[in-house]
Amino acid sequence: MSGEMSMIGSVILALFLAGYLGQQYLPPPVPKVIGLDLGTTFCSVGVFHAGSGEVEVIADEEGRLSIPSAVSFTATAVLAGHEAVDLADGDPQNTVYDAKRFIGKVFEPEVLEQESARYPFKVINNNGSAEFLVFSNRSFSVSPEFVGSRLLLKMRKMAERRLGVPIHRAVISVPAEFDERQRNYTVRAAELAGLEILRVINEPTAAAMAYGLHKADVLNVLVVDLGGGTLDVSLLNKQGGMFLTRAMAGNNKLGGQDFSQRLLQYATERARQEFGIAPTLKEDIHRLRQVVEAAKLNLTLQASVAIKVPLRLHDDDGAEPPEGGAPAPAPVQLEAVITRELFEQLNEDLFQKILAPIETVLAEGHLDKRDVDEIVLVGGSTRIPRIRTLISEYFGKEPNTSVDPDLAVVTGVAIQAGIVGGSWPLQVSAIEIPNRHLRKTNFN
């Protein structure tokens, strides 16, 4: 009997040893499960390399780590990501973006109509669900999950190209506020792209994992996600190694594009003062928009930036002059220096709005701000220096910013994919306690 026991013991020991040695000396296994961040404006895909213990965010053919969440429909092809955006200027009606705002959602007819008015493409109401009407050879409608699936397929291909193996399984992140239906439709989008979803994880939880907070000795984590158009604040509470979302609040109409808009208004007003006429031509506005967007990004690193924008400034709404008519007025050039200080002054009231949802989640979570252990910043707009100081001054401590704020979510999802996909030795795979009864407070 004891002989048998010791034999079983030896076999188990031998198996463990073989596994251990295998892990040490065999080439590291190729990741088989990918982590997907299907964002409203950008998407990324990452994997966890068990050998090195590192996350790799997978680049596209041109080395870019994110692809725009846009899909274009042409007569001959469906294009996703950068290729879709390249087409968008020429064919805005057939380039769908922001599909994540519609996925799995049931709308009141008036609300859907208001939403559609914001887009150059046509949004139609299919019994409460949104669909996009596109025209290639003929006109047809596509669902938000179909649009999502083309982005997920593109990312699956990027991963397969990089890893050299077929990929069929993934972990995907969704906003914490997504209800069961929105989660289901996100999973359906993945299925349409030939991917089985092993786990759906909340974006703020993923961001916390990117900082290793699932392993660290912390209790309360506050995640601030400020993207192009929305602010999401979540209060996470760690219980026995698992994250529970305690409270959520946000502002659906606050983000990077609002800060750019203030710069655009400023530049437009400068042009009006200088040339006696405000730029109204579509192409002038487009050029101004591109320049102020670039200036905004530069002001994160530089104290000031000089802009030069050629403008046509026609006041005849752009019509070509008739044959032999008066020649078009000569183009002018708007030159200005924009300082970081000016940028901050133009936006200070918007920046201050970030604090309201932070205070709400603390109140709803019955937590004093001093009891927040870590603050995690996600989303490109959290690079803005004034926003970082605003948050660190509020809490009296530095936020966690070492991970690229555009890649924090995909990094965490990739870690989760590594955990779910790992077979050795025993893996704690759950990292999140679902919280079905939570509602998000919105400031608009």
Ligand X SMILES: *[C@@H]1O[C@H](CO)[C@@H](O)[C@H](O)[C@H]1NC(C)=O
Segment 276 to 335, residues that bind ligand X, using CB under 6 A: 294-295, 298, 305, 307
Quick one: DSSP state of residue 252?
A: T
Please say which residue, 196 or 398, places its beta carbon nearer to ligand X.
398
**Pairwise CA distance, residues 226 & 353, whole Å:** 12
Regarding 28 and contact with ligand X (CB under 6 A), the answer is no
316 as an active site residue: the answer is no
- Find the shortest distance in angstroms from Cβ 152 to ligand X: 18
Catalytic residue from among 60, 131, 225, 232: 225
**Which residue stretch of 81-89, 207-215, 281-289, 362-370 sits at the interface with ligand X (rule: CB under 6 A)?**
207-215
Q: By the 8 A CB rule, do 198 and 169 touch?
A: yes
Regarding 23 and contact with ligand X (CB under 6 A), the answer is no
| Residues composing the chain | 444
Please say which residue, 11 or 106, places its beta carbon nearer to ligand X.
106
Q: Give the pair of three-digit tokens for residue 317.
A: 């709404």
37 as an active site residue: the answer is yes
123 φ/ψ angles, rounded to the nearest 5 degrees: -105, 125
Q: Torsion over CA of 30, 414, 220 and 251, rounded to 10 degrees?
A: 180
- Find the shortest distance in angstroms from Cβ 6 to ligand X: 43
108 as an active site residue: the answer is no
Strands 122-126 and 332-339 come out as unpaired
Regarding 103 and contact with ligand X (CB under 6 A), the answer is no
Regarding 11 and contact with ligand X (CB under 6 A), the answer is no
Regarding 374 and contact with ligand X (CB under 6 A), the answer is yes
Catalytic residue from among 98, 177, 203, 432: 203
**Pairwise CA distance, residues 235 & 223, whole Å:** 6
Write the CA distances from 46 to 54, 66, 284, integer angstroms.
10, 10, 39
Please list the residues that pair with 377 across neighbouring strands.
224
Q: If binding means CB under 6 A, how many residues of this protein chain bind ligand X?
A: 22
Please say which residue, 136 or 435, places its beta carbon nearer to ligand X.
136
Please list the residues that pair with 238 across neighbouring strands.
243
Residue type, 398: E
Residues noted as catalytic: 37, 100, 203, 225
List residues binding ligand X (CB under 6 A): 75-76, 127-128, 136-137, 180-181, 184, 211-213, 216, 294-295, 298, 305, 307, 374, 398, 400, 402
